A and B are shown apart, each in its own frame.
Chain A
Amino acid sequence: MKTPLFGSFKAPATSRHALGPMQQIDVPMRRFRDTDEVDYLIVGCGSAGGVLLQRLSRAGFRVVALEAGPFWDTERDWVSDESGSHKLYWEDPRITGGTDPLAFGANNSGKGVGGGSVHWAAFTPRFHPSDFEVHTRDGLGADWPIRYETLHPYYEQLELEMPVAGPAYFPWGHPHGYPYGPHPMGGVGNALIKGCTSLGIPVSIGGPVAILSGSRAERPHCIYRGYCIQGCKVGAKASTLITHVPDAIAQGGEVREYSMAHRIELGKDGRVSGVHYFDRDGASWFQRAKAVIVAGYAIETPRLLLNSACPGHENGLANSSDTVGRFLMAQAGNVILGRFDDPVRMYKAPPAHALTEQFYETDPRNDFVRGFAIQTVGPLPIAFARQMVSAKRAWGWGLRREMMDYNHWASLGLLGEILPWPDNRVTLSQERDQFGIRVPHIYFNLHDNDHKLIKAAKDKTMQVMHAAGATEVVQEARYAHLVGAARMGSDPRTSVVDKFGRTHDIANLFVCDGSILPTQGSANPGLTIQALAARTADYLIAQGDTIFSSGKRDQTEPRMRKDLAPPDTWGHGVPYLK
């Protein structure tokens, strides 16, 4: 049998570590000893951790990233299969409650190198300028300690590094264009375009999505197989596993897989001295470090800080404000499903390929503040069956019948902004996980503004689906993404970290991941998380050794270090094939 351009039907015959069919790296990598005092110890090698590890390693620091999951070999470990992809998700026990409990696992929590960027659908819209001053504008939510303009150069840079495919002109927020061309439309994108257009709603076609529409360097273009959230074996979808970690390792950074951090050690001098972690056999280790950056995402980050309580910090590290774990946010992610007389076959094309942000901003005609986006989604059969169970209460023969019509359905996801509330929080339960670490207990409650916004967003998205020509429209209520729970702010009494991610309480302890976001807009958070990580890295690099010895808090914005980006991930624009 012939071999396709971008991969073999046979098993790879190489002993090297495959990150997609073309990119391969040598392992083992550099391994620091526990007794070595490294410069930075990063907890979690996901969207933020991968970028931080790469930047800091390239700048010459000695850096280790502890990762609870495995360091994937994408050819050996990943499959084109829904049920076979559970290992990509954080499926350790968590307890979920409140009036509106969140689902975790596959819904929003990654495990393994690359973290959430392995299983995201890779929509990469920027936040709008208004997102950075929600409280000032609307009297609810919170303001950020930075403005859009601060993050703007990092948005542009990360859009190149991933890179992002999308239209040449994106009209919402701060208007801009994308470096890689838009993707062709699948059946769901066509439905969104048709529905929006007939209602006079502008629509972004073919992105923005961090999936290659043309090959670049060692990464092939998208093959439209539809298994984005099962991990992109193709290597077309950006994840820090393939965009930043390879350069980090080449620069001497270390990724330590199967290392579950459970306690940050605080020294007598009031500075952290390292992190205790379990290896895959349950043995406990301690890695010394001059500074620690927690990048475990919105549940594991507060969980680790709370589990690190010690004398003088009885409520958890960096928690003098009682804000660790609070202001947790998820976005409303209701899925609107429409049945069409003609086949759609929504499993083809990436789930993420068209959206509208026309309803993103506060509209004074609404009875709520802030807004929502409408995006394509493309559930595969198991996900679709679960939607039919909720949206139509289907079971038995009714479910068999609905599923036989799978190819006639298209689905749109709304992404609705839920505001940060103090009672939406991560706490510790008395239950313990397989390592003996206390399990997080999460409480989530929708508030009045949230209910009104979700209802309006659902009705609008159903209207779009009808306008697209669907003969039947139903809805599954759910949530998407997680942010908050260790938010940044300029006031140490109401926030956990400053504008660079440094905890207000401890000078050499940082948090850098989705948990530091004060608000979330109705944009997918992945790009913003990586942009913030690159900026924090620039700050740490500019501060140099003062981080390791001094309590001085320089709030000067750092110079952007484009020169420290992975050399193969930006500035080319011309793909080449091996």
Chain B
Amino acid sequence: MSRQPPQSAGPLPPDVDVSLLPRDARTGVAIVPSVQPGYYPGHSTLSQRPYWDKTTRDLVNDRVNHTPRIRHFSAESARFWRAVFDHILPQTDRASQRRIPILERVDDRLHNKRGEGFRYENMPPDPEAYRLAEIAINEESQSRYSAGFIDLPHLQQDVVLKAIHDGKPAAKEFWKQMPIGRFWALLMQDAVEAYYSHPWAWDEIGFGGPAYPRAYTRLERGEPEPWEVEEQRYEWDAPRYCVSDATEATHHLHSESRQNEFIPDESK
């Protein structure tokens, strides 16, 4: 099933840069920001809250209604990392009141010293990793474009981050203090945990969300529950100013360290 991309209720807000919006693949026209991108129009996990157990309901309500304030990062670092997360998980297709806070969740984790239960022996503690990475990413920006990351145009920022993603930085010095692949994994984990724990993201991807005590009943053939929504796909292209749309399968790498701890290849 195919449909039109989601439509905005009103005109394009004046502060929106069209070159940063995803486009309708058939027409090339920018898809204006909407309250719910994705292929499941009308799917709302939050509408099902009365059917959830109280503890889960309270937790998710708190996540939606309460954004922690910044306590770990300095104002300058917060501005820097907010700009980075705008590339790691861009949200220009989301109406401004429906963007999912990422930086605040990461800041909250670092402030409360919540770890994952382990640290790689060649990695510093997480707060130090973020501190070093801020310097390294700024060095990368200087090396490529002779300006700090925050002052670069959007597309150049994307290119800088792609160099980190690829494990091929031009400025290598700071990455001698921690493996670039491990930092990238840490950054991505923090970002996806914040974004995909949010019910607006569940709606976007058609995930059903909590189902206790009510249950899921249609297990086979990917059928929706009566309160879920059938997929209605539309084809879209990434924004014109972006280099993050390409993916690269890594299944030739069969061990975890080979897959994730790629260190810049000095021979090239």
Say if the beta carbon of A95 comes within 8 Å of chain B: yes
Contact partners of A334 in chain B: CB under 8 A: 254
Question: Taking each of B118, B212, B231, B255, which has the highest tally of chain A beta carbons within 10 Å of its own beta carbon?
Answer: B118
Q: How far is the CA of A305 from the CA of B236 in the complex (A)?
A: 58
Assess the A390–B260 pair: CB atoms within 8 A: yes
Assess the A106–B214 pair: CB atoms within 8 A: no
Assess the B247–A93 pair: CB atoms within 8 A: no
B37 to chain A, nearest CB (A): 8
Stretch at the interface among A125-133, A240-248, A342-350, A536-544: A342-350
Q: How far is the CA of A91 from the CA of B126 in the complex (A)?
A: 14
Contact partners of B121 in chain A: CB under 8 A: 95-97, 101, 441
Say if the beta carbon of A147 comes within 8 Å of chain B: no
Assess the A473–B251 pair: CB atoms within 8 A: yes
Q: How far is the CA of A336 from the CA of B204 in the complex (A)?
A: 24
Question: Taking each of B39, B202, B207, B238, which has the highest tally of chain A beta carbons within 10 Å of its own beta carbon?
Answer: B207
A34 to chain B, nearest CB (A): 30
A106 and B197 in contact (CB under 8 A), knowing A398-B244, A406-B205, A477-B253?
no
Task: Mark interface residues in A76-89 (1 if CB within 8 Å of B CB, else 0).
Answer: 11111111101001
Contact partners of B259 in chain A: CB under 8 A: 390, 476-477
Assess the B213–A396 pair: CB atoms within 8 A: no
Assess the B50–A396 pair: CB atoms within 8 A: no
Say if the beta carbon of B139 comes within 8 Å of chain A: no
Assess the B54–A10 pair: CB atoms within 8 A: yes
Assess the A475–B212 pair: CB atoms within 8 A: no
Assess the B249–A93 pair: CB atoms within 8 A: no
B8 to chain A, nearest CB (A): 18
B257 to chain A, nearest CB (A): 5
Assess the A348–B219 pair: CB atoms within 8 A: yes
Q: How far is the CA of A475 from the CA of B223 in the complex (A)?
A: 26
Task: Mark interface residues in A510-534 (1 if CB within 8 Å of B CB, else 0).
Answer: 0000000000000000000000000
Assess the A75–B247 pair: CB atoms within 8 A: no
Say if the beta carbon of A227 comes within 8 Å of chain B: yes
CB closest chain-A residue, reference B119 = A95
Q: How far is the CA of A577 from the CA of B257 in the complex (A)?
A: 50
Contacting B247 at CB < 8 Å: which of A79, A227, A382, A402?
A402
Q: How far is the CA of A233 from the CA of B248 in the complex (A)?
A: 38
Assess the A93–B255 pair: CB atoms within 8 A: no
Stretch at the interface among A45-53, A115-123, A165-173, A454-462: A454-462
A401 and B197 in contact (CB under 8 A), knowing A386-B189, A454-B255?
no
Q: How far is the CA of A225 from the CA of B219 in the complex (A)?
A: 10
Task: Mark interface residues in A20-41 (1 if CB within 8 Å of B CB, else 0).
Answer: 0100000000000000000000
Assess the B196–A349 pair: CB atoms within 8 A: no
B211 to chain A, nearest CB (A): 4
Contacting B119 at CB < 8 Å: which of A93, A224, A380?
A93
Contacting B205 at CB < 8 Å: which of A84, A91, A404?
A404
User: Chain B interface mostly helix, strand, loop or mixed?
Assistant: loop
A227 and B212 in contact (CB under 8 A), knowing A1-B50, A100-B256, A398-B245?
yes
Say if the beta carbon of A185 comes within 8 Å of chain B: yes
Task: Mark interface residues in B9-50 (1 if CB within 8 Å of A CB, else 0).
Answer: 000000000000010000000000000011100000000001
Contacting B238 at CB < 8 Å: which of A389, A391, A397, A475?
A397
Assess the A103–B118 pair: CB atoms within 8 A: yes
CB closest chain-B residue, reference A5 = B213
Assess the B208–A345 pair: CB atoms within 8 A: yes
Say if the beta carbon of B65 comes within 8 Å of chain A: no
User: How many A-B contacts are there with CB distance less than 8 Å?
Assistant: 279
Assess the B255–A79 pair: CB atoms within 8 A: no
Contact partners of A474 in chain B: CB under 8 A: 249-251
A224 and B118 in contact (CB under 8 A), knowing A389-B192, A395-B165, A398-B247?
no
Contacting B188 at CB < 8 Å: which of A395, A475, A476, A477?
A395
Question: Taking each of A10, A97, A223, A348, which has the highest tally of chain B beta carbons within 10 Å of its own beta carbon?
Answer: A348
Assess the A400–B119 pair: CB atoms within 8 A: no
Say if the beta carbon of B153 comes within 8 Å of chain A: no
Q: How far is the CA of A391 from the CA of B196 in the complex (A)?
A: 18
Say if the beta carbon of A6 comes within 8 Å of chain B: yes
CB closest chain-B residue, reference A388 = B247
A348 and B53 in contact (CB under 8 A), knowing A187-B222, A396-B244?
no
Assess the A81–B189 pair: CB atoms within 8 A: no
B40 to chain A, nearest CB (A): 9
Q: Which of B184-212 contact A (CB under 8 A)?
A: 185, 188-189, 192-193, 195-197, 201-202, 204-212
Q: Which of A50-89 contact B (CB under 8 A)?
A: 75-84, 86, 89
Contact partners of A7 in chain B: CB under 8 A: 53, 212-213
Task: Mark interface residues in A458-470 (1 if CB within 8 Å of B CB, else 0).
Answer: 1000100000000
Contact partners of A401 in chain B: CB under 8 A: 236, 238, 245
Assess the B22–A397 pair: CB atoms within 8 A: yes
Q: How far is the CA of A90 from the CA of B56 in the complex (A)?
A: 21
Assess the A348–B249 pair: CB atoms within 8 A: no
Q: How far is the CA of A480 from the CA of B255 in the complex (A)?
A: 13
Say if the beta carbon of A564 comes within 8 Å of chain B: no
Say if the beta carbon of B117 comes within 8 Å of chain A: yes
Say if the beta carbon of A274 comes within 8 Å of chain B: no
Task: Mark interface residues in A289-329 (1 if CB within 8 Å of B CB, else 0).
Answer: 00000000000000000000000000000000000000000
Say if the beta carbon of A407 comes within 8 Å of chain B: yes
Say if the beta carbon of B66 comes within 8 Å of chain A: no
Contact partners of A252 in chain B: CB under 8 A: none
Assess the A101–B120 pair: CB atoms within 8 A: yes
Contact partners of A398 in chain B: CB under 8 A: 238, 244-247
Contact partners of B245 in chain A: CB under 8 A: 396-398, 401
Assess the A100–B122 pair: CB atoms within 8 A: no
Say if the beta carbon of B217 comes within 8 Å of chain A: yes
Assess the A381–B196 pair: CB atoms within 8 A: yes
Given contacts A105-B118, A403-B201, list 8 more A-B pairs with CB under 8 A: A9-B213, A80-B210, A100-B255, A224-B219, A348-B216, A397-B22, A397-B245, A406-B205
30 contacts between A and B (CB under 8 A): A9-B51, A10-B54, A11-B55, A80-B212, A91-B114, A95-B119, A96-B118, A96-B119, A100-B255, A103-B116, A187-B219, A224-B211, A224-B217, A225-B215, A226-B211, A390-B250, A395-B188, A396-B242, A397-B239, A398-B244, A401-B245, A404-B37, A404-B39, A407-B207, A451-B254, A462-B251, A473-B251, A476-B259, A477-B254, A477-B255
Q: Which B residues are within 8 Å of any A CB, using their own CB?
A: 22, 37-39, 50-56, 59-60, 63, 87-90, 114-122, 158, 161, 165, 185, 188-189, 192-193, 195-197, 201-202, 204-224, 231, 236, 238-239, 242-251, 253-260
Nearest 4 pairs of A and B residues by beta carbon: A396-B244, A105-B117, A343-B222, A97-B121
